[in-house]
A and B are shown apart, each in its own frame.
Chain A
Amino acid sequence: MEFEISNLKKHFGGIQALNGVSLSFSGHQIIGLIGPNGSGKSTLVNTIGGIHEPDSGTITFNGKRIDHLKPNQVMQHGVGRTFQVTRAFRRMTVMENLLVPALALYPEKGRKTWEARGREVLDFLTMDHLRDDYARSLSGGQQKLLELGQLMMTDTQLLLLDEPFAGVHPKLMESIFEYIKVLYGQGKAFLIISHDMNSIFTLSHRLVVLNYGDIIADGDPQVVKYDEKVIQAYLGEEVEDA
């Protein structure tokens, strides 16, 4: 797997949300993406995911340009994302939620095949008993799992997870950890936004820190943790007051 973001810029009105962001990897990794509020993390994920068009810069995945594509096209290339506030299809069943990306990307395989695959995914996530329930009747944590499941249906290679642990029951959080590790073991790559420092430090092979649209640190989590610039970014004015 080859992924490269090169000098990505995006502004909204007067604000430069991404100010020349560059990031790349080969093979597969779990990359943690952190940074203070408003640093551009969600904008980055939204831009990779195709919801925003970058002003300049490129995004390449396995040799193909995926910037300026619509979200469904980005998904077709094997890059999927989850949402910070879960956006499962509320008035559709859990199984139907899983069928949507599957049938959208590979309709020729047929519903029966995909339903079988869906049950596999649900088994893995221990949610099979919920398969005929409306997504809206699921708990918040279960909905996060459902979104993960949607990405697992097809061969999504790079998963962008936006706050997968936010507001999740600790026990469920452990499960999500495990699922991510298993999927990584299957060869998938992750870019995970999280404010939960513990999870990020435990999971990530590599930590990227954004601040005001710039990457201010990128490397081993244990090293980045003590990077002055990173500490400054998070503490901000508090340091000056002290």
Chain B
Amino acid sequence: MTPTFARAPRVRIEWLVISITLVVAIAIPFYLEKVSLYWLHVLIIAYFYAILASSWSLLAGVAGQFSFGHMAFMAIGGYTSGLLGKYFGLPPLLGIPAGTLVAGLTGLAIGVLCLRFKASYLALFTIAFSEILRILIRGEYGITRGDQGLHLEMLFGATTSKLPYYFTMLALLVFSLLFMYWLVNSRVGLFLRAIREDEEAASARGVDVVRYKLMAFVITSMIAGLAGGFFAHYIGILTPNTFVLPQMGLVIAMAIIGGVESLVAAAIGGIIIQVSLEVLRDFDAWRLVIFGALLVITLRFARNGLIAPLLERLFGLGPRAEKRKKESDSHGV
């Protein structure tokens, strides 16, 4: 039995690390603004990928739905806002919510269509969906400007400073993580995991599988759409290349290497990989070779990811069960 006093210091460490991280995250842009705008931009993009990786891990790692459509939802968020802005003059502050909504509705539709699909078929169908959408956007360049790129209004208008974008993306990351974390720890998370473990058994135990599966699709596609909308109004231009399948593969790699069942680990995986890609710029294509290899090796030898176990050990997050069992085993109980 773990004596209760042993718990208190652990909780303090958790809050300490989180506080320090937040303070650094809030302070660093001011420093970078003076020293290197490039790295400030890298961090913004890193947060963007962190949002995508963690929301995908909610759908795939927690709910067990390994969808390849995530980047498509991201693009829907961006393109909806961009097209509404271009043809109806809708300002970004309205366009981004609109994009989020459309992404959510599409997520609902895809979720409904995929209800009966198991692993391979879900992957294949969502790949087909993503590709059809990408081909359409690319082909109808009369409307979308295709490969040339759709121009979008900057969210913060004439401001040249990257600071508001940085803080907005950081806020999006923090709030989406908080929201998803709350969800996972609520009964919804319980049901999603039950569905992941065994859909039929979950239903036999009273879980409305359809409702919660669709909920997972809608919530995660909305988060992706929101991130996409904001991303588009930061970069200022959107092309169909933002969601070619290798991009989806990269997000998957981030989530898995981080730890696909842990939202925070997946987010950290996203940040670390994106920053590493920039740090290793000189290695060109070899960067992705490394991450491709890392993905495959992680899957084979470290299924829970590389970052999630670290988080568990440092903060005692995650199931105590295996640890307790090991303890009781070693004490010969």
Give A residues with C-beta under 8 Å from B.
49-51, 70-72, 75-76, 80-81, 83, 87-93, 96, 99-101, 103-105, 107, 111, 132-134, 137, 150, 154
A93 touches B198 (CB 8 A): no
Task: Please pick, from A72, A90, A99, the residue contacting B204 in the complex, using a CB distance under 8 A.
Answer: A72
Interchain nearest-CB distance for A58 vs B (Å): 21
- Of chain B, the residue at the smallest CB distance from A93 is B321
Interchain nearest-CB distance for B125 vs A (Å): 23
A132 touches B206 (CB 8 A): no
The segment out of B186-194, B221-229, B309-317 that lies at the interface is: B186-194
Task: Please pick, from B200, B207, B209, B322, the residue contacting A137 in the complex, using a CB distance under 8 A.
Answer: B322
- Besides A89-B193, A101-B205, 11 new A-B residue pairs in contact (Cβ under 8 A), listed by A number: A72-B208, A81-B204, A83-B204, A87-B200, A89-B201, A96-B190, A100-B202, A132-B319, A132-B320, A133-B324, A134-B319
B198 touches A75 (CB 8 A): no
Contacts of A87 in B (CB 8 A): 198, 200-201, 204
Bound form: Cα–Cα A83–B320 in Å: 27
A76-B325 CB under 8 A given contacts A87-B200, A89-B198, A93-B319: no
B203 within 8 A of A: yes
Bound form: Cα–Cα A161–B202 in Å: 17
Give B residues with C-beta under 8 Å from A.
187, 190-191, 193-194, 197-198, 200-209, 319-322, 324-325
- Of chain A, the residue at the smallest CB distance from B322 is A134
B190 touches A103 (CB 8 A): yes
Interchain nearest-CB distance for A129 vs B (Å): 9
B187 touches A103 (CB 8 A): yes
Across the A-B interface, how many residue pairs have beta carbons closer than 8 Å? 88
B201 touches A72 (CB 8 A): no
Interchain nearest-CB distance for A48 vs B (Å): 11
Contacts of A76 in B (CB 8 A): 206
B190 touches A133 (CB 8 A): no
Interchain nearest-CB distance for A47 vs B (Å): 13
Contacts of A72 in B (CB 8 A): 203-209
Interchain nearest-CB distance for A216 vs B (Å): 28
A sample of 27 inter-chain contacts (CB < 8 A) reads: A50-B203, A50-B204, A70-B203, A71-B203, A71-B204, A72-B205, A72-B209, A80-B205, A83-B204, A89-B193, A89-B197, A89-B198, A92-B190, A92-B194, A92-B197, A93-B319, A100-B194, A100-B205, A100-B207, A104-B187, A104-B191, A104-B205, A104-B206, A104-B207, A107-B187, A133-B324, A137-B321
Contacts of A111 in B (CB 8 A): 187
Bound form: Cα–Cα A89–B192 in Å: 11
Pairs of residues from A and B, 9 with the lowest C-beta to C-beta distance, nearest first: A104-B206, A87-B201, A71-B203, A89-B197, A101-B205, A75-B206, A103-B187, A71-B204, A133-B321
Interchain nearest-CB distance for B190 vs A (Å): 6
Contacts of B320 in A (CB 8 A): 132
Among A49, A80, A132, residue most surrounded by chain B Cβ atoms (within 10 Å)? A132
A51 touches B190 (CB 8 A): no
Contacts of B204 in A (CB 8 A): 49-51, 71-72, 75, 80-81, 83, 87
A89 touches B194 (CB 8 A): yes
Contacts of B202 in A (CB 8 A): 89, 100
A150 touches B321 (CB 8 A): no
A105 touches B206 (CB 8 A): yes
Interchain nearest-CB distance for A164 vs B (Å): 15
B200 touches A51 (CB 8 A): yes
Interchain nearest-CB distance for A21 vs B (Å): 20
- Of chain B, the residue at the smallest CB distance from A133 is B321
Among B187, B321, B324, residue most surrounded by chain A Cβ atoms (within 10 Å)? B321
Task: Please pick, from B205, B322, B324, the residue contacting A75 in the complex, using a CB distance under 8 A.
Answer: B205
Bound form: Cα–Cα A91–B198 in Å: 10
- Of chain B, the residue at the smallest CB distance from A160 is B204
Bound form: Cα–Cα A76–B203 in Å: 11
Contacts of B200 in A (CB 8 A): 51, 71, 87
Among A49, A51, A96, residue most surrounded by chain B Cβ atoms (within 10 Å)? A96
B325 touches A133 (CB 8 A): yes
Contacts of B206 in A (CB 8 A): 72, 75-76, 100-101, 104-105, 154
Interchain nearest-CB distance for A76 vs B (Å): 6
Contacts of A83 in B (CB 8 A): 201, 204
Contacts of A93 in B (CB 8 A): 319, 321
- Of chain B, the residue at the smallest CB distance from A110 is B187
Bound form: Cα–Cα A107–B211 in Å: 15
Bound form: Cα–Cα A70–B200 in Å: 10
Bound form: Cα–Cα A133–B319 in Å: 8
Bound form: Cα–Cα A99–B202 in Å: 12
